[in-house]
Structure 1
Amino acid sequence: MAPKIKKAIQDFLENLTERDFKKFCQALVDRSEKPRIATSRVEGKDFLDVTNVIVITFGEAEALDVVIELLAECKINAADLESKTRKRPKVFLDNGDPALPRTSSGELETEPSQEARKIVADQKQAKASGNGGNVKKPEEVEADAKAHVRAEGGDPSSEWLVLSRFIIQFGKYKGQTFKWLLENHVGYAVYVAATHQDERKWNREDQSPLMVHKDFLTQYSIAYAEVLKEVKLYPAGGQPSTASSSRPAQGKQKTSWKKKSFTPYNRY
Structure 2
Amino acid sequence: MQKKVAPYPGKISVVFRKGPLGYLLQDPSKEARRNKNDPKLQDKSAPVREDVVHQNALTVIYQRGGDESDMKEVQGEYILQFGKYKGKSFRWLLGNDVGYTMYLIKDLQKEEAAGTSVEEGHGKESLHSFVQYALSFTEIKTLLNYKTSRVSVAAEASEDDQLVGFGSRAKSTWKEIQESPFYEAERQRWVEEKRKKGRNC
TM-score by length of 2: 0.62
Q: Give the corresponding residue for 1:161.
A: 73
Matches within 5 A, 1:170-185: 170-185=82-97
Q: Give the corresponding residue for 2:63.
A: 151
Matches within 5 A, 1:8-157: 92=8, 97-122=13-38, 124-125=39-40, 132-157=44-69
After superposing on structure 2, the runs of 4+ consecutive aligned residues of structure 1 that deviate more than 6 Å are none
**Shift of residue 189 of structure 1?**
0.9
Q: Give the corresponding residue for 1:44.
A: none
Preserved CA contact (<8 Å) 2:18 2:24: yes
Structure 1 residues 105 and 173, CA gap change in structure 2 (3 angstroms): same
> Which of 121, 126, 130 pairs up with 1:213?
126
**Shift of residue 173 of structure 1?**
1.1
Whether 1:193 and 2:105 are equivalent positions in the alignment is yes
Preserved CA contact (<8 Å) 2:58 2:68: yes
Please tell me the residue identity of whatever aligns with 1:181: L
Task: Provide the rounded CA distance (Å) in 2 between the counterparts of 1:156 and 1:221.
Answer: 19
Preserved CA contact (<8 Å) 2:35 2:41: no
Preserved CA contact (<8 Å) 1:190 1:221: no
**Shift of residue 150 of structure 1?**
1.1
Please tell me the residue identity of whatever aligns with 1:106: G
TM-score by length of 1: 0.48
Preserved CA contact (<8 Å) 2:57 2:77: yes
Q: How many residues get paired?
A: 147
**Shift of residue 152 of structure 1?**
1.1
Q: Give the corresponding residue for 1:23.
A: none
Task: Provide the rounded CA distance (Å) in 1 between the counterparts of 2:57 and 2:44.
Answer: 20
**Structure 1, gaps ≥5 residues long:** 1-87, 237-268
**TM-align CA RMSD:** 3.0
**Shift of residue 105 of structure 1?**
2.1
Task: Identify the structure with bigger relative contact order (alpha carbons < 8 Å, sequence gap 6+).
Answer: 2
State the identity as a percent.
Answer: 26
